[in-house]
Amino acid sequence: MKPQVVALLLLALVCLQPAAGEKLVSCCLDTSDKCFPRQIVVSYYHQEAGKGCQHSATVFMSKAGKRLCAPAAHKSKCVQELVAFLDKRNKSKKQ
């Protein structure tokens, strides 16, 4: 076998998904382009692609207990603002 083929095969094997490894992680499958109003969000976390989920997203917890999907922070100005707002509010609450 040619070394390139071997290298490709090795690379391939490294990346095979294990058959038993499908874990049932709750993920954002799609993100909303609308801006969520500040009044309804209480917290947020980042969903990173490749760590159990396929998409990168910012997840906002709403007061009603729903987890809303917004684009990743670097992709949306409105998300950045909302994140900054929540960070600030949280900081002021802790003090």
Partner 1 sequence: MEDYYYHDDEDGRHNDSYDYSYEHSVCDKEAVRSFAGVFLPVIYSLALVVGMAGNTLVVAVYASRSRLRTLTDVCILNLAASDLLLLVTLPFWAADAVHGWRLGPAACKLTSFLYGANFSCGMLLLACISVDRYRAVARRSGRGPRARRQWILVCSALWGLAIFLGLPELIFSTVKHSHHRMYCTAVYPPSMGRPAKAALELLEVILRFAIPFLVMVACYCSVGRALSRAPGLRRDKKWRALRVLLAVVAVFLLTQLPYNVVKLCRALDVIYMLVTDCEVSKGLDHAVQVTESLALTHACINPLLYAFIGSSFKGHVLKTAKRLGRRLGSRPRQEDGEPAVEIALNTRNQNQSQSGSEEPDTSTFSM
State in angstroms the smallest separation of the CB of 79 from partner 1: 13
C-alpha distances out from residue 82 to 38, 66, 87, 92, Å: 7, 16, 9, 15
Alpha-carbon span 80 to 78, nearest angstrom? 5
Total of chain residues touching partner 1, rule CB under 8 A = 51
Residue selected from 43, 74, 81, 85 as contacting partner 1 according to rule CB under 8 A = 43
> Is residue 29 close enough to count as binding partner 1 by CB under 8 A?
yes
Q: Min. distance of Cβ 34 from partner 1 in angstroms?
A: 7
Q: CB burial class (10 A; 0-12, 13-18, 19+) of residue 67?
A: middle
Residue 40 DSSP label:
G
* Contact string (CB under 8 A) for partner 1, positions 64-83, x = contact: x-xxxxx-------------
Q: Which residues pair with 70 in a beta bridge?
A: 58
Contact footprint for partner 1 (CB under 8 A): 11-32, 34, 36-37, 39-40, 42-43, 45-46, 48, 50-52, 54-55, 59, 61-64, 66-70, 86, 89-90, 93
